Amino acid sequence: QVQFVESGGGLVQPGGSLRLSCAVSGIFFRIVSMAWYRQAPGKQRELVAGISLTGNTNYADSVQGRFTISRDNAENTVYLQMNSLKPADTAVYYCNRWASPLDSWGQGTQVTVSS
């Protein structure tokens, strides 16, 4: 059974940084493109960043230049480094497969950007 366990969220001031982690089990991680998604209160879940099997990345316009997605195939983990955080980045962040996310989502990790 596929399992996603996100961690690393918290409360941070505008301009601050956080690094999110997502431990993945139950799938052959090395052959799966992965992504980070987020859902703010009252809004639909949106794609934030994706990373392919070979390390190619893609970012939403709203986070381009501030966020960096990476993966460690040996640890079955995907990361999201978030810099220059803004209040608009406040959301619950999830990881899942890129482009065709699985129905089973993790619990997510809350990121709150506020002064």
pLDDT for res 29 = 78
When pLDDT is cut at 50, 70 and 90, the band that residue 46 belongs to is: very high
pLDDT for res 88 = 97
HEC profile for 16-48?
A: CCEEEEEEEECCCHHHCCEEEEEECCCCCCEEE
Span 64-75, pLDDT tens digits: 999 999 999 999
24 has pLDDT over 80:
yes
3 Cβ partners below 8 Å, 6+ apart? 24, 25, 26, 104, 106
Contact yes or no for 62/3 (Cβ under 8 A): no
pLDDT for res 75 = 93
